[in-house]
A and B are shown apart, each in its own frame.
Chain A
Amino acid sequence: MKRIKREISYFVFLIPSLLLFVFCIAYPFISGIQLAFTDWDGISRTYNYVGFDNFIKLLSDRNVVQPIKTTVIYGVGVTALNNVLALFLAVTLSKKLKGKAFFKTSFFVPLAISAVLASFVWKYIDSNMLSALFGHSLLGKRETVLLGIILISLWNNLGSNVMIYMAGITGISKDYEEAAMIDGANGRQRFFHITVPMLMPSFTICITLTLTASLREFGTVLAATGGGPAGSSQTVAILIYDYMFKYSRAGYAQAISLVFMFFLVIIGLVLTKFFRSKEVEA
């Protein structure tokens, strides 16, 4: 009896979350699934059910190959660079440092700039300054366009991971560090044996979320290149959007979305499970 009461006392905490989840996500999602099995054009109020046609079509659709490649390269690139830099900055900024607030703010402020304006500024820098550095602008060449967009996204979004890592580092008790220092551990040892393991909750969040968010990247690419040049930066998310709102093939777009989401969920879950299992439970 007491155990049940105890369980209920925890479950109560979940109720607001469950309500919001069902209302905002679960219900609309489930009522939207059926559209993937129709020939809906996105605007008319009638449509025909076509069974698994959309999914079969997807298997032979040549148009999805390039976007998938682009999406994977972009997602992995952003995630790796973003996390390495954010971790470095967080560690450096967690030390005693003059003008810390200034540094922190300067990495944070770009978060407040919309993707469209961030792209405008970086396109200018790209065509006027980076081009002198690399011999050509990054965004104007098929080979380097993704690198260019990755840079824009780093500038625009790095701050949030810096903050999450910093929150994680802040949570690490000074006692551990001091104890290790007394034991004679050097900086690198302390980083890998204390900071990294204690930061696991932050890794779970930052790596999983950056990866899945960048795999769904939409705004920055749309604003920076619109998927060009010659389709070389078109991501899956843009492809879905095009099918949905430009090519009037919403049923098919819905089908691609579901398949795409399926893979994202798998990736997200594998990553969270992996990092969660490394988390230290106090």
Chain B
Amino acid sequence: MKRKVLAAVLACAMVFSMTACGGKKGSEETIKSEDVSNEEGEQVTLEFINGSAEEQYVAWLDEVIEGFEKENPNIKIEIQKTSIDSFNQTVMTRFAAGDVPDLFSFSANDMADMVPSGYVQDLSDSSNLENYSEGMLDSFTKDGKVYALPIANDFMCVNYNKTAFEEAGIKEVPDTWSEFMEACEKLQKKGIVPIASGFSEQWVVNGTSQTVYCASVLAKDGPTLAQMVDRSSKFAETEQWKDFYKKMQEMYPFMNEDQFGTDQNTCYSMLANAEAGMILNGTWTVTNAVAMNPDAEMGIFALPLSENEEENIMPMCPPESAVAVAAESPHRDEAVKFLEYMMSSESASLYAEKGAGIPIVKDVDTSNLTGAFKDAAEIMNSGEVKVISSKSFPSANEDAFINDVSGFFLDGCKDIDGALKTMDTDFDNLVK
């Protein structure tokens, strides 16, 4: 008898603790049901998985959503924030299980598996396409169809602190490679780290490399990255890639010591406080440095790898991160409507105002931009850019590439031929 009582108690304890944790999103649901009575009829809630956690981006997105919801009271946007590390995992699991979101952050690398699976809505009919210049949607285009829309683009360039340059007595932004080297020396003499490199984070190795190979390979009519991946071109046989390593070798003495023991956060603060002169990476560097020190005077310029000034114009490749709509979304039309609103010229102007980056959409009001972003917007609008092909390797090749470049640096940037050979072997191994 007693045993039964105890068994019941045990069972109750379990049931109790289960029910105590019940109450599935209670408050949320009541709010939703109240909203149903709208003049436009059916209330729709769109789910948007956002993979960009950058402070300014999130602030901008919040405001865009607010504006959209005001204009469209029957549509509500729910943002799902995910960390950058778990974004892929979340999106992949959900699509694989057929539990699709309505909108999601999308990168050029997703084209290969998500588009053939039929997951991504074709946006070719959207009137927004006219807002982009020729070639700027290439990363999201397959067989003439466009699958995602970007808001901004980044230059891979030199981000520099104007104060540090002044202190070192550098009057003008270097236009040629020898001027660049000279600037590095001047900075070093002043005790300022010429090039800060936080290589303890892998993406920084990649970002710095991209800055260099965009200028040394892609802007110099070298083979496209796709040709390197499918092995129709070899690293060891390409002059431009040899030049890539040579330039790295020449810059190496001007980098901070212990690059692989330094994180990029430290580099941002070095740059912001004029303890370092430059960071070779995307223009997002400016946003992050300014956050460290709002008074920092930042600027950008194209990495001048050539002795010929004319050749050193800013390389620009099509944007690689964007937002897409799920083809299987039950509210596809509403989702496209929001995406079009999000990528409109008005939203892009707001994007510029928030200092989130450089909008790529046409007819953007850039009068609010200051500092480095103003420079960037001017470069972008002036058309004095060299449009190049994609700057990113597919993930597996990218990781091999990062490892090889890291190895080159760890060994003191000595063996260029060896580095080229290693890269060829590793890329050969990845061909299946």
A and B touch in their complex, CB below 8 angstroms: yes
**What band does the interface of chain B fall in when counting residues whose beta carbon is under 8 Å from A?**
35 or more
In the assembled complex, the Cα of A139 lies from the Cα of B404 at a distance in Å of: 18
Do residues B96 and A245 form an inter-chain contact, with CB atoms below 8 A?
no
Do residues B258 and A137 form an inter-chain contact, with CB atoms below 8 A?
yes
Do residues B200 and A225 form an inter-chain contact, with CB atoms below 8 A?
yes
Known contacts: A43-B95, A245-B88. The answer to whether A139 contacts B260 by CB under 8 A is yes
Do residues B262 and A16 form an inter-chain contact, with CB atoms below 8 A?
no
Contact residues in B for A229 (Cβ distance below 8 Å): 199-200, 260, 406, 410
Q: Does A44 contact B (CB under 8 A)?
A: yes
Give residues of chain A (15-48) contacting chain B, Cβ–Cβ below 8 Å.
16, 41-45
Contact residues in A for B399 (Cβ distance below 8 Å): 231, 242, 246
Segment of A85-93, A94-102, A123-131, A188-196 engaged in the interface with chain B: A123-131
Q: Which residue of A lies closest to B11 (CB)?
A: A16
Give residues of chain B (87-119) contacting chain A, Cβ–Cβ below 8 Å.
88-89, 91-92, 95-96, 98, 112-114, 116-117, 119
Contact residues in A for B89 (Cβ distance below 8 Å): 245
Do residues A231 and B403 form an inter-chain contact, with CB atoms below 8 A?
yes
Q: Which residue of B lies closest to A247 (CB)?
A: B396
Do residues B117 and A222 form an inter-chain contact, with CB atoms below 8 A?
no
Contact residues in A for B127 (Cβ distance below 8 Å): none
Q: Does B135 contact A (CB under 8 A)?
A: no
Question: How far, in Å, is B182 (CB) from chain A's closest CB?
Answer: 29
Do residues A137 and B14 form an inter-chain contact, with CB atoms below 8 A?
no
Q: Does B261 contact A (CB under 8 A)?
A: yes
Do residues A228 and B200 form an inter-chain contact, with CB atoms below 8 A?
yes
Question: How far, in Å, is A122 (CB) from chain B's closest CB?
Answer: 11
Do residues B200 and A62 form an inter-chain contact, with CB atoms below 8 A?
no
Do residues A248 and B263 form an inter-chain contact, with CB atoms below 8 A?
no
Q: Does A201 contact B (CB under 8 A)?
A: no
Most buried by B among A120, A124, A141, A231: A231
Q: Does A110 contact B (CB under 8 A)?
A: no
Q: Which of B98, B117, B200 is close to A139, meaning CB atoms less than 8 Å apart?
A: B200
Contacts A127-B258, A227-B202, A242-B395 supplied; 10 other A-B pairs, CB < 8 Å:
A9-B3, A45-B117, A127-B266, A142-B410, A228-B199, A228-B260, A229-B199, A229-B260, A245-B88, A246-B395
8 CB < 8 A contacts A-B: A139-B200, A140-B261, A142-B410, A228-B260, A229-B199, A229-B406, A230-B403, A242-B395
